[in-house]
Amino acid sequence: MNNLRLFRTSIVGIGAHGEDGGEESASRMTCHTGLVPVNARCAAVLAGTALAGIGLDQATKVLVVATREGKPPIQLAGQILTIYVSRNSGAAFSFAPAATLLFTGVAVAAAVVIVMKASRLHSAGWAAALGLVLAGAVGNLCDRLLRAPGIGRGAVVDFIDLRHFADFNIADSCLTCGAVLIVVLSLRGVPMTDNKGASVPRPRPIGY
């Protein structure tokens, strides 16, 4: 009789332990579904870099169009650097002038992707790099949307002419610097985002 009671007690204990284990396993299998915390420092670096680049790009374009368009070029630095206003319907550095609408769409897509990535950034270097790329994309996008001959087909203002090199502007410089910085960060193995806690590995079923 005593042995039967001990057997029943053991069965109950195992059942209770199984329920606790099941609850623990279920809690482990639950994935994090909350909002990803925003790194304020990285967000500030990205936004500040982008706004500074866009502001400088647009300010210089307005200045040279108002004061130098249609006038003879100004040669600086021993004829290595020339300030001369030209219009470019293509991509950066006067590439593919016939694909204005295509590059407008690419600029919009790049800006959207960078803004979506902003909340996951955990590297100030990556934030600066993406901020530069965003500044370049939006700076030239403003020209394509607001300048003649029409929305989405506007010609970008270029005014920096280096000897034996294509004409460009501040936005093009931002794009180039951002791309170089991205390559450097990638080669150094600096992660763009923090993937810790993104998912919890599923535990194996009991008995396996």
Please list the ranges in the chain whose pLDDT falls under 50: 1-4, 6-34, 197-201, 208
CA neighbor of 65 nearest in space, from 4, 147, 142: 147
17 within a domain of the structure (yes/no): no
117 close to 36: Cβ distance less than 8 angstroms: no
64 within a domain of the structure (yes/no): yes
Number of domains in the chain: 1
- Give the per-residue pLDDT at 114: 93
134 within a domain of the structure (yes/no): yes
95 within a domain of the structure (yes/no): yes
Q: pTM for the full model?
A: 0.72
- Give the per-residue pLDDT at 204: 54
| Phi, psi values for residue 121, rounded to 5° | -70, 140
d(CA 142, CA 144): 6
133 close to 49: Cβ distance less than 8 angstroms: no
98 within a domain of the structure (yes/no): yes
42 close to 119: Cβ distance less than 8 angstroms: no
Three-class SS state of 40: helix
- Per residue in 24-37, pLDDT tens? 444 443 334 345 56
Give the catalytic positions in this structure.
Answer: 158, 172
d(CA 93, CA 90): 8
- Give the per-residue pLDDT at 117: 86
3 within a domain of the structure (yes/no): no
- Give the per-residue pLDDT at 12: 44
18 within a domain of the structure (yes/no): no
CA distances from 4 to 13, 14, 15, 94, 140 (A): 14, 15, 17, 90, 84
Q: Which domain holds residue 46?
A: 40-187
30 within a domain of the structure (yes/no): no
161 close to 83: Cβ distance less than 8 angstroms: yes
